[in-house]
Amino acid sequence: MSGLMNAVLQYGSAAAALVVVGLGIRLGRKWAPVDSQMDARPMLVGMSVAALVLLAVGGWLGLVWSPQDREMGDVYRIIYVHVPAMWMAMLTLVLNFACCVSYLLKANWKTDALAEASAEVGLLFGGFGLVLGAIWGRPTWGVYWDWDPRLTAMAIMLVTYTAYMALRRFVEDPDKRAVWSSVVGIISFANLPIVWFSVKWWRSLHQVQSTPKTVDPEMALSLRVNAWAFLILLTLFLLHRYRIALATREAEVALPDALPPDAPASRDGNSTEVA
Amino acid sequence: MSTVLETTTLLAQVGMGRIQGGWEYIWAAYGIAWASLSLYALSLWIRRPIKASRDTKE
């Protein structure tokens, strides 16, 4: 593939990513609040169709069009779903960290809702990405699992984000829940740079990061197309999950009004308004 | 016994310089990825906020 084609793909990918993120931010502001009057259906359907088409094309490119790897033969084709899944997991967990810090600096229920959404979606991508990595490990390493630094760090990170989600479910007070989970989110994030750099710091079983620059140019297109599909899906998942979190929070704020005035459990009036 | 056989087979494949076959792992990986995405999308659909309570007649 020519250098020009690679440059077009590189800039095209950056532009496509910016458009998807821009759409996500716009819909998050205008459509996600439950009382929104915005009719986002055409945009959401368009994004869903684009994601499914790209997923199908990416599947064909990865399973059929791409050449075999010199050493791994066909099994390396798992890279086209494993690597984009891990990228999306890291992206959402960076977003979660930003939301946790932001909430502690300035309490805002929208930030807390986005933190919750990003942790859950990050856990999804990280969870199945790790399983895919284990499946890839069996024919290449001979084992599904090894206590390799990258695998161990990733497993620890998933456990900490599972704890984050569990904490959010167990703490009933919304204020305490938001503060405590923000702290846990920040602590959990400390592991993310270790996950990313582990393959450089400790040269062990896991190969170095796979990116369009480190894989063969013949494989870069398949990797990019699958990453585009996953990015659109990630944006859609985040939007819908954020909307659910906002609605849940709104219902919690509305709850004291539904209780009788003499109810002992009625809140003391310090429930924060949904920002 | 079967583990020894599997390991021997794997070593024989690697000995050729390139891993042969392995499509069952590829299909399993793609299947898990697509199933995870589909099931999560379904869970979001099931949990979607219903606006009806706000819009119903008082």
More confident residue, A262 or A40: A40
What is the nearest CA distance from A4 to chain B, expressed in angstroms? 31
Per-residue pLDDT for A217 more than 80?
A: no
**A17 pLDDT tier (thresholds 50, 70, 90):** confident
| pLDDT tens figures, A78-113 | 999 999 999 999 999 999 999 999 999 998 899 999
Instruction: Look up tokens 């996953």; give the residue.
Output: A230
**What pLDDT does B58 receive?**
39
Cα(B58)–Cα(B52) distance, integer angstroms: 12
Which residue of A138, A143, A231 to mutate against B (max B Cβ within 10 Å)? Answer: A138
Instruction: Look up tokens 């502690």; give the residue.
Output: A104
What is the nearest CA distance from B13 to chain A, expressed in angstroms? 10
CA B33 from chain centre, in angstroms, equals 4
> Cα separations (Å) of A219 from A13, A65, A260?
15, 9, 64
What is the nearest CA distance from B45 to chain A, expressed in angstroms? 8
Q: Quote the number of domains for chain A.
A: 1
> Cα separations (Å) of A143 from A148, A208, B7, B8?
12, 19, 10, 14
Which residue of B11, B36, B43, B45 to mutate against A (max A Cβ within 10 Å)? Answer: B36
User: What φ, ψ does residue A73 adopt, rounded to 5°?
Assistant: 60, -125
Residue in A73, A240, A246 nearest the CB of B18: A73
Q: How high does pLDDT run on average in chain A?
A: 86
Tens-digit pLDDT string for chain B (58 aa): 667 777 777 666 656 677 777 899 999 999 999 999 999 999 999 998 886 544 444 3
Q: Which structural domain, as residue segments, surrounds residue A127?
A: 3-274
Residue in B20, B30, B40 nearest the CB of A59: B30
**3 state DSSP class of A69:** strand
Interface TM-score (ipTM) > 0.95: no
| Mean pLDDT to the nearest integer, A225-251 | 93
The one-character DSSP state at A73 is B
**Residue A161 CB neighbour total at 10 angstroms:** 26
Q: What is the percentage of chain A residues whose pLDDT exceeds 70?
A: 92
Which residue of A37, A38, A81 to mutate against B (max B Cβ within 10 Å)? Answer: A81
Beta strands of chain A (E only): which ranges?
none
Query: Are the CB atoms for A105 and A176 separated by under 8 Å?
Result: no
What is the nearest CA distance from B46 to chain A, expressed in angstroms? 10
Report angle CA B34, A81, A136 to the nearest 5 degrees: 105
Cα(A87)–Cα(A82) distance, integer angstroms: 9
Query: Are the CB atoms for A146 and A205 separated by under 8 Å?
Result: yes
Give chain B's length: 58
Query: Are the CB atoms for A252 and A110 separated by under 8 Å?
Result: no
Which residues of chain B make contact with A60, given a CB cutoff of 8 A?
Answer: none
The verdict on B12 touching A (C-beta cutoff 8 Å) is no
What count of CB pairs under 8 Å joins A to B? Answer: 82
Which residues of chain A make contact with B20, given a CB cutoff of 8 A?
Answer: 73
Taking phi over 0 as left and psi of -120 to 50 as alpha, with beta for the rest, A269 belongs to left
Residue of chain B with shortest Cα separation from A143:
B7
A244 to B20: CB separation less than 8 angstroms, yes or no: no
Query: Are the CB atoms for A70 and B18 separated by under 8 Å?
Result: yes
